[in-house]
Amino acid sequence: MQLLGWTFAVVVLLYGALCLFYWWFQERFIFVRFRVRQGYRFTFKLPFTERWSKVSDGAVLHALHFKADAPVGVVLYFHGNTGSLRRWGPLAARFLKLDHDVLMPDYRGYGKSRGRLSEAALHADAERWYQLLLQEWPEDRIVVYGRSLGTGFATPLAAAHRPKALVLESPFANFREVARHYLWILPYRWILRYPLRNDRAMRRMRCPVYMFHGRRDPVVPLSTALRLYALVPTGLHREMITFARGYHSDLGRFGRYKRALRRILLEGPEHPQA
């Protein structure tokens, strides 16, 4: 009986240590940041300018603004959790070909951006970039695009405004569901500081919503994306485009993705869908 008690105490102690470890180091798991020095020169063949924004809390935010020849709109692109604009910048080409400028920011701690992380700060940064675009573009020409982790900033931002469309690639309903996919045993409700509640934001959406997801995605399960899709308010145009052979980072190679993106950017919704 005493042995059983000691065993239980050790298990509880180890579980508590695991929870504490995750709580303390979770930013390293969620935000896989790659910095570059602020004097670094990007060598993209695409036309672009660098944009900066200083925040009152001391953060310095950096983005790249890629320029189309004769733009008819602009895409505000929130990238995934790994790398920096050195990695993500080339993806702007798919939007430039469709006559859209692209504003692509790096999150705090990524690339040339600096600043202390928090979920509130990251949402405020997303709003800051949106307001910058509103000074240059009418809102019905702005498309908000989020990829993977970036859907956690794109969705609440679009819900707070009325852009032309919200496009989500490999989205999740909330980040707890993604975390449980990796290690289900932890009490994320209490220890996760970045819940990223897309499910709550989606209920307030007022613009068309488009989602892309791979059915073989090992990072963000399709099930959480489908749950988010079901929360799109009745009456809004919505589309869920899935890829039977798609994983997490390869959707852009499919012809269906390219055709759908062209239609979304250049034609818009054809008719409401349930």
- Residue 95 Cα distances to 65, 73, 75, 163, 187, angstroms: 12, 10, 8, 17, 40
Pair 40, 64: CB distance under 8 Å: no
Residue 107 has pLDDT above 60, yes or no: yes
State the pTM of this model.
0.93
Residue 274 pLDDT level (bands cut at 50, 70, 90): very low
**What tens digit of pLDDT does each residue of 145-171 get?**
999 999 999 999 999 999 999 999 999
For all residues of the chain together, what is the average pLDDT? 92
> How would you class 42 by CB atoms within 10 Å of its CB: exposed for 0-12, middle for 13-18, buried for 19 or more?
middle
Q: Calculate mean pLDDT across residues 55-59.
A: 93
CATH for 2-266 is: 3.40.50.1820
**What tens digit of pLDDT does each residue of 13-25 get?**
777 787 787 778 8
Q: Tell which residue, 148, 179, 149, has the closest CA to residue 251.
A: 148
The three-point CA angle 242-157-261 to 5° equals 35
- Cα–Cα dist 193/210, whole Å: 27
DSSP letter (8 states) at residue 247? -
Count of residues in the chain: 274
Residue 226 has pLDDT above 90, yes or no: yes
Q: Tell which residue, 204, 128, 196, has the closest CA to residue 162.
A: 204
